[in-house]
Structure 1
Amino acid sequence: MEIVPEGKNFRLVSEDELPAVADFLVQHIPESLKFHQTIQTYLNNKVWDFHFYVAKNWPEDPICLHFPGCTSTPNSHPYESVTIFCPSERAELVDLVTSEDILLDLTQPLYLNFTHEAIVNRLEKRYEAFDKITGDVYVCEKPPEDSTDELPSDVELVRLRQEHMKAVHDLYPASDIECREVFEKLVVELPAYGIFVEGQLAAWMVQSYYGAMFSMQTRPEFRRKGYGIFLARRLTKEVASRGYKPFVVIRPENDASRSLYSKLGFEKRFRTVRAVLRPR
């Protein structure tokens, strides 16, 4: 599909401009961390074909978008899903999105990836949110020290390859919004590890296209064996060594994940929401 160079309120950012946009977003970290590192992984690794937009009055109006916002939607339309950043104290800028009738079809659902709750609250003046999932962003400022703990002799921590991605995607709880193809690209370009027990994939963790560490998944029969801390420690250190700030999105009710990442020095920074937005 043809990419639209200019909307009513936003303009397409050229690749040459992206480093300057990323530099501007640094002043708004941690709230801008997800968007900032999406630009970073795009420039470094091109794991997916994203299109970045800024407000026409950027940076005085510091709001930016990227399309698609996730890698799988019902109609595979690039403007069907979006990720939005603006400072939470400037949430009124979201009205530029809800009146953007060139880039968006305002009569159709909009699929929103994890976005600051203040932005979502403003969107809900125009849209009704369905299938809402809340996630708290936890950030690690200092990578954990190496551990002297060792895995049992029949357990291995292995760098994942493309042939492992079907099993990984099958376990991924958000496989409806992230396609298998993106995992196959991620594993080539970004850190990805699995725990194998007697040759069987028991647990996995992958750095995502937005710089976060995708939620760790463990097969039910291998849970509560302590494998997660080995995966999380290894990926946290490698993500940091590549120049990214490690972060994860944890559901508020997930006490086990919160406990694990807290042990590695992750701290809660803000709340995000993922949802399907339907026009009111």
Structure 2
Amino acid sequence: MGQFEEITAEHENSFEVVLKKKLPLTGQLLNVWRLKRQRKFTVANSVQFYIYSEDKVPLEGSLQDLFVLCVQEPNMHGLYSVIIHAPVSPTHEMITAFEGFVDWDRNPLFPAAPGPFTDKFLRSICLKRGGMPPKEHPCEAYALEVDKAMSGQCEYDYKENGDHVRVAGLTLKDVNQVMATELTRVWMHTKMKQQMELSISNLATAGVFVNDDLAAFAMLSPAGLMNNVWTEEPFRRRGLAVKVLQTLSHSVAAMGCTPMAECTVTNDTSRQLLKKLGFTFVQETNWVTFKKA
């Protein structure tokens, strides 16, 4: 019977090589791995990686059977979360090991879980363990080639219809403006301000300021994805989301990460925006929140 073994310092370099060979499907995990190695997470041991192995010698199995879990505790929502990269056809032993590995008593979040894995295994396991359907948000994941991201503009100013427009990374003094946006009413959670501060201080962010007012912004989350792409209502239909994503993609690529973003399956506007910027489809994903009945 195999089990999930923690990736230790001894296997760090070879683990990164393995993740690179499975791109773009492992793009999110590779981003989190590189952020961890750059010490971008402020809580010690808050991010750990595990790989399924049948002989207690990680990284010697087939790439086709690569099964990796990344545990974040706390994650960006202050929750216990498990990021999954699973093989197309995991064995019964793999699924048994996965089910035994996850601490179901802590109501885990599975961010951007692969769609096929969710449909074939995760949903039914959640039902068995919790007795109620998990909360789901079906999405599509997209990635931008690093060279394309680096070719875009980073920080700049321009004039438009008499307005002074500045595109730049956010600073801690901008947190209150972020928290005052309509986004915080749409997508509010108890750790949101803390996440904003972490992303600004340690990760990557981008904002558009119109006459010093925050009009649009986005950030790289600790989950390795660019999220919270938001434009305030008075500033919409001015192409600001494009500028935010171009600038953020440049910053993410400069950190050695792959710009990755998601949109819900019903959000065609976001899908077309990502495609316009050169992002290509990676896979269907699903944000699954488990909770016991």
After TM superposition, the score normalised by the length of structure 2 is 0.78
Q: Which residue of 2 aligns with 1:3?
A: none
C-alpha distance after superposition, 1:216-256 (max 9, x if no partner): 11122222221111111222223223322211111122222
Q: CA deviation at 1:42?
A: 1.0
The answer to whether the aligner puts 1:258 opposite 2:271 as a matched pair is yes
Q: CA deviation at 1:94?
A: 3.4
Q: Which residue of 2 aligns with 1:83?
A: 83
The answer to whether the aligner puts 1:249 opposite 2:262 as a matched pair is yes
Unpaired segments of 5 or more residues in structure 1? 1-7
Query: 1-side partners of 2:141 and 2:91: how far apart?
Result: 19
Query: 2-side partners of 1:10 and 1:166: how far apart?
Result: 42
C-alpha distance after superposition, 1:186-233 (max 9, x if no partner): 212333121112221111111222433224111222222211111112
Q: Which residue of 2 aligns with 1:37?
A: 31
After TM superposition, the score normalised by the length of structure 1 is 0.82
Instruction: State whether residues 158 and 195 of structure 1, in contact with CA within 8 Å, keep that contact through their aligned partners in structure 2.
Output: yes
Instruction: State whether residues 94 and 119 of structure 1, in contact with CA within 8 Å, keep that contact through their aligned partners in structure 2.
Output: no
Query: 1-side partners of 2:190 and 2:138: how far apart?
Result: 15
Q: Which residue of 2 aligns with 1:139?
A: 143
Query: 2-side partners of 1:116 and 1:151: how far apart?
Result: 43
Instruction: State whether residues 42 and 209 of structure 1, in contact with CA within 8 Å, keep that contact through their aligned partners in structure 2.
Output: no
Query: 2-side partners of 1:175 and 1:88: how far apart?
Result: 34
The answer to whether the aligner puts 1:239 opposite 2:238 as a matched pair is no
The answer to whether the aligner puts 1:187 opposite 2:200 as a matched pair is yes
Q: 1:51 to 1:253 in 2, by over 3 A?
A: same
Instruction: State whether residues 55 and 62 of structure 1, in contact with CA within 8 Å, keep that contact through their aligned partners in structure 2.
Output: yes
Greater helix fraction, Structure 1 or Structure 2? 2
The answer to whether the aligner puts 1:23 opposite 2:41 as a matched pair is no
Superposed, 1:173-184 pairs within 5 Å as: 174-176=187-189, 179-184=192-197
SS in structure 1 opposite 2:124?
A: coil
Q: Which residue of 2 aligns with 1:168?
A: 178
Q: Which residue of 1 aligns with 2:108?
A: 110
- Please say which of residues 135-144 and 174-183 is displaced more in the overlay: 174-183
Q: 1:190 to 1:24 in 2, by over 3 A?
A: same
Q: Which residue of 2 aligns with 1:51?
A: 48
Query: 2-side partners of 1:26 and 1:52: how far apart?
Result: 15
Instruction: State whether residues 64 and 84 of structure 1, in contact with CA within 8 Å, keep that contact through their aligned partners in structure 2.
Output: yes
Query: 2-side partners of 1:178 and 1:56: how far apart?
Result: 35
Query: 1-side partners of 2:250 and 2:105: how far apart?
Result: 44
SS in structure 2 opposite 1:72?
A: coil
Query: 1-side partners of 2:12 and 2:134: how far apart?
Result: 32
- Please say which of residues 150-159 and 248-257 is displaced more in the overlay: 150-159
Q: CA deviation at 1:108?
A: 5.5
Q: CA deviation at 1:161?
A: 0.6
Q: Which amino acid aligns with 2:255?
A: R
Q: 1:276 to 1:211 in 2, by over 3 A?
A: closer
Query: 2-side partners of 1:167 and 1:224: how far apart?
Result: 21
The answer to whether the aligner puts 1:154 opposite 2:146 as a matched pair is no
RMSD of aligned Cα (Å):
2.9
Q: Which residue of 1 aligns with 2:215?
A: 202
Q: Which amino acid aligns with 2:95?
A: V
